[in-house]
Amino acid sequence: MVDLDLLNYLEGFITENRKEGFLRVLESRTKHFTIAMEDIFQLHNTSAVMRSCEVFGIQELNVIEEKFGKRIDTEIAMGAQKWVDVNRFNTVQSCIDEMRAKGYQIIATTPHDDSCMLHEFDISKPSALFFGTERNGLSEEVIQQADGFLKIPMVGYTESLNISVSAAIIIQDITNRLRQSNIDWQLSEEEILEKRLDWTRKSIKDIEFIERKFHELKENVSE
């Protein structure tokens, strides 16, 4: 549970415009879909996908770092790391298990012949969309455990896209359709409160000092 007294206290340190901005953005945030990236070697691709998640309203990005331990390229992410929750996994299996535990079906993005075309994809089910590298695609570990396959319709000679481009196309399509649907896709009230507190904390300099002062004031009042 979010400490509402703390939230109200901290929101006093940010502008009304920022508070209103948080509420406006959070109205369009969703966890109905989540994105998982498997061992992306190029650092800028992970960061670019994070930006797409942020721009199109997906709250959580899952990064599997089994082969290449990477941090987020903050220059490419352009601040998106402050507003998107990044969950890191050491193995593919731990990520898949976590996604299933959260109620997601596993969707592998692949040009597989049996893949569902993007415009035909059923958006009603909570889904974790897995992306692999442009060169090697997703691992067999993901392919074998996937509940479905998804691909972007292409009509040219080149039948592959950069991972960040593919992710952006798919994320934009499914989130746009989701917001136009009757599906219950928005964050819960509690989730919105959690993000308000998180984002407010990230917006305040010397947050540790300010929170310490809040708890001192609270203790003095209770004495």
pLDDT at 13 over 50: yes
**Coil, helix or strand at residue 92:** helix
Quick: pLDDT tens for 162-219: 889 999 999 999 999 999 999 999 999 999 999 999 999 999 999 999 999 999 988 8
- What local confidence, expressed as pLDDT, does residue 146 receive? 96
CA distances from 28 to 16, 104, 195, 209 (A): 19, 20, 13, 32
- Name the CA radius of gyration of the chain, rounded: 19
- The verdict on residue 24 lying in a domain is no
Residue 25 CB contacts under 8 Å (≥ 6 apart), including other chains: 83
Is residue 25 a part of any domain in this protein?
Answer: no
Domain-located, residue 35: yes
Give the lowest-confidence range in 37-46, 51-60, 113-122, 124-133. 37-46
- Using DSSP's 3-state secondary structure scheme, residue 37 falls into strand
> Quick one: three-class SS letters along 80-101?
HHHCCEEEEECCHHHHHHHHHH
- The answer as to whether 78 is a domain residue is yes
Residue 71: Cβ within 10 Å count: 12
pTM of the full predicted structure?
0.90
CA 48 to chain centre: 12
User: pLDDT at residue 72 above 60?
Assistant: no
CATH number reported for the structural domain that contains residue 139 in this entry: 3.40.1280.10
Mean pLDDT, to the nearest integer, of 46-57?
93
pLDDT tens-place string over residues 124-166: 999 999 998 767 789 999 999 999 999 999 888 877 788 899 9
> Are 5 and 111 part of one and the same domain?
no
Residues 213 and 161 occupy one common structural domain: no
